C-alpha cells in the first residue's frame, strides 16, 4: 500500500478581487475519522486515503466556485470596498486549504506510524490537533525526529527565453506529484499533473501555444496534449496541462508566443461611465468542457449600454481568449448583466477572466 497525501490546493492566492462566498458555494468538510497509525487496520488507512483524495478534489471545486462567484464583485466598486472583498475572499480560501493541508499532514504521520508498527485491530482515532494548528499558522508540523517532507512540486525542465520590450518571456514544465484522481476509467490508479507555465516578464500581452508529448499517454489516452492561451504582461500562467499515471514520463514540451495586437480605442466619451447594477456569477457561464480541458484566459467583451438599468445590447467579443467556448461564455455572462449609464447608447469594454485554481 502506497499513499502520500499532500494538499494540491494549499497555496495563498493573491487576487485582484474577492468576497466571502460561503453562502453561494458550500465549503466541503471532512466527514471521516482519521485512524491512529499505531492501531489502524489496512482497510481503515485505505478508506482515509480515498476520503482525503476526494476532499482534495472537492476543495478544488469549491475554490473555483468562490473565484467564479467573486470575479465580477469589484466592477464599479471603490478601492476600500475592493480591498474588503479581497480580504473576505482570502479568508474563505485559506479556511478551506488550511483544513485540507492539516488533515493531509496528519494522515501522512499516521501512515508513517502504520508502516512502522503494522497497525492493530483498529477503532482508534488519531489526534490531529498539532497538524491542524500548524497548517493554520502556515508552518509545517515536523515529524517526530524527522526532517521536513520534500515539496510535491518538481521543475522537470526549462525552455528557452526570448527577449521582448520591457523584459523576456520563458516557459517551464512543472510536475505536481500530489496524488490525483485519474478518472472513472482508472479508479484504482493515481495520477500526477504536468503543466507548461509561461512567464511573461515583458510589457506586451502574448498569444501562446504549448504542448506536452508523453512517452505513452496521459490519463485520457492522448500521446500529445496541446492548448493555447493569452498571457498578460508581467504575469505567469498555465498554457497547457494534463494528468498522467505515476511513472508515465513526458518526452518533449514546448511553448511558442507572439505579441497580441492591441485593440483600437473606443469613441466613447471619457466622461461617460457605466455601472454594473446586477452582476453575474462567472462560474455559471464557465463551460464544463472548458473546465475539463483546462481552458482558461481573459476575454474582452464589447457592448452597448442603452441607458439606466438595462441589459447591454450588441454584445460581441473584442479580444478572444483563443477558446471559442470561453468566448461564448463571456458573451452570455455580459448579456445577462444589468448595467446603467447616464450616457445613452455608448460602447464599452469589459475584460472577463476565466481561471481555474492552479
Domain extents in the chain: 1-148, 153-259, 274-354
**pLDDT top residue among 10 and 266:** 266
77: pLDDT strictly greater than 80: no
Per the document, the length of the chain is 358
146: pLDDT strictly greater than 90: no
Grid cell locating 126: 488519531
Grid cell locating 52: 482525503
Which pLDDT value is given to residue 224? 96
pTM tops 0.75, yes or no: no
Grid cell locating 268: 466613447
CA dist., res. 309 & res. 340, Å (int): 5
CA dist., res. 97 & res. 182, Å (int): 21
The predicted model gives 9-19 an average pLDDT of 31
pLDDT in tens, 302-320: 999 998 899 999 999 999 9
CA dist., res. 152 & res. 142, Å (int): 16
Grid cell locating 117: 508498527
Which pLDDT value is given to residue 335? 95
Q: What CATH fold (topology level) applies to the domain 274-354?
A: TolA/TonB C-terminal domain (3.30.2420)
Q: What CATH fold (topology level) applies to the domain 153-259?
A: Immunoglobulin-like (2.60.40)
* Own/partner pairs, 311-315, CB within 8 angstroms, 24+ separation: 311/335, 311/336, 311/337, 311/338, 311/339, 312/337, 312/339
Average pLDDT, the chain: 81
In contact, 180 and 191? CB cutoff 8 Å: yes
Grid cell locating 168: 523576456
pLDDT band at 93 (very low <50, low <70, confident <90, very high): confident
Q: What is the 3-state secondary structure (H, E, C) of the chain?
A: CCCCCCCCCCCCCCCCCCCCCCCCCCCCCCCCCCECCCCCCHHHHHHHHHHHHHHHHHHHHHHHHHHHHHCCCCCCCCHHHHHHHHHHHHHHHHHHHHHHHHHHHHHHHHHHHHHHHCCCCCCCECCCHHHHHHHHCCCCCCCCCCCCCCCCEEEEEEEEEEEECCEEEEEEEEEEEEEEECCHHHCCCEEEEEEEEEEECCCCCEEEEEEEEECCCCCCCCCEEEEEEEECCCEEEEEEEEEEECCCCEEEEEEEEEECCCCCCCCCCCCCCEEEEECCCHHHHCCHHHHHCCCCEEEEEEEEECCCCECCEEEEEEECCCCHHHHHHHHHHHHCCEEEECCCCEEEEEEEEECCCC
Which pLDDT value is given to residue 24? 62
In contact, 186 and 221? CB cutoff 8 Å: no
Q: What angle do CA 48, 182, 40 make, to 5 degrees?
A: 15
For 239, left (φ over 0), alpha (ψ -120 to 50), or beta?
alpha
Does 274-354 match 153-259 at the fold level? no
333: pLDDT strictly greater than 90: yes
pLDDT in tens, 20-56: 333 467 888 888 889 998 999 988 888 888 888 888 8
Going by C-alpha positions, the residue among 263, 268, 267 that lies closest to residue 301 is: 263
Q: The cell 512540486 sits on which residue?
A: 153
Amino acid at each position: 500500500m502506497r499513499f502520500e497525501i499532500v494538499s494540491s490546493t494549499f497555496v495563498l492566492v493573491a487576487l485582484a478581487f474577492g468576497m466571502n462566498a460561503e453562502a453561494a458555494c458550500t465549503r466541503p468538510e471532512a466527514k471521516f475519522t482519521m485512524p491512529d497509525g499505531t492501531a489502524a487496520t489496512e482497510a481503515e488507512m485505505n478508506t482515509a486515503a480515498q476520503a482525503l483524495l476526494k476532499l482534495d478534489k472537492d476543495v478544488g471545486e469549491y475554490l473555483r466556485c468562490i473565484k467564479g462567484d467573486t470575479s465580477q464583485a469589484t466592477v464599479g466598486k471603490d478601492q476600500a470596498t475592493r480591498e474588503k472583498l479581497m480580504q473576505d475572499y482570502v479568508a474563505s480560501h485559506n479556511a478551506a486549504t488550511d483544513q485540507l493541508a492539516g488533515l493531509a499532514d496528519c494522515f501522512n504521520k499516521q501512515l508513517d506510524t502504520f508502516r512502522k508498527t503494522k497497525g492493530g485491530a483498529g477503532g482508534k482515532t488519531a489526534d490531529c490537533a498539532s497538524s491542524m494548528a500548524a497548517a493554520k499558522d502556515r508552518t509545517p508540523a515536523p515529524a517526530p525526529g524527522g526532517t521536513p517532507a520534500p515539496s510535491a512540486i518538481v521543475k522537470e525542465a526549462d525552455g528557452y527565453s526570448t527577449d521582448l520590450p520591457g523584459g523576456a518571456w520563458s516557459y517551464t514544465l512543472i510536475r505536481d506529484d500530489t496524488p490525483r484522481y485519474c478518472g472513472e476509467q482508472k479508479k484504482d490508479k493515481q495520477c500526477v499533473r504536468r503543466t507548461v507555465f509561461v512567464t511573461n516578464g515583458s510589457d506586451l500581452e502574448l498569444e501562446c501555444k504549448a504542448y506536452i508529448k508523453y512517452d505513452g499517454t496521459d490519463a485520457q489516452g492522448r500521446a500529445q496534449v496541446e492548448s493555447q492561451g493569452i498571457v498578460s504582461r508581467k504575469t505567469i500562467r498555465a498554457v497547457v496541462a494534463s494528468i498522467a499515471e505515476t511513472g508515465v514520463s513526458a518526452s518533449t514540451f514546448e511553448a511558442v508566443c507572439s505579441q497580441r495586437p492591441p485593440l483600437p480605442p473606443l469613441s466613447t466619451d471619457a466622461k461617460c461611465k457605466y455601472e454594473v447594477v446586477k452582476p453575474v456569477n462567472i462560474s455559471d457561464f464557465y463551460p464544463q468542457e472548458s473546465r475539463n480541458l483546462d481552458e482558461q484566459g481573459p476575454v474582452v467583451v464589447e457592448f452597448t449600454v442603452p441607458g439606466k438599468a438595462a441589459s447591454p445590447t450588441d454584445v460581441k467579443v473584442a479580444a478572444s481568449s483563443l477558446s471559442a467556448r470561453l468566448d461564448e461564455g463571456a458573451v452570455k455572462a455580459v448579456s445577462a448583466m444589468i448595467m446603467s449609464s447616464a450616457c445613452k447608447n455608448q460602447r464599452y469594454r469589459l475584460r472577463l477572466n476565466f481561471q481555474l485554481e492552479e
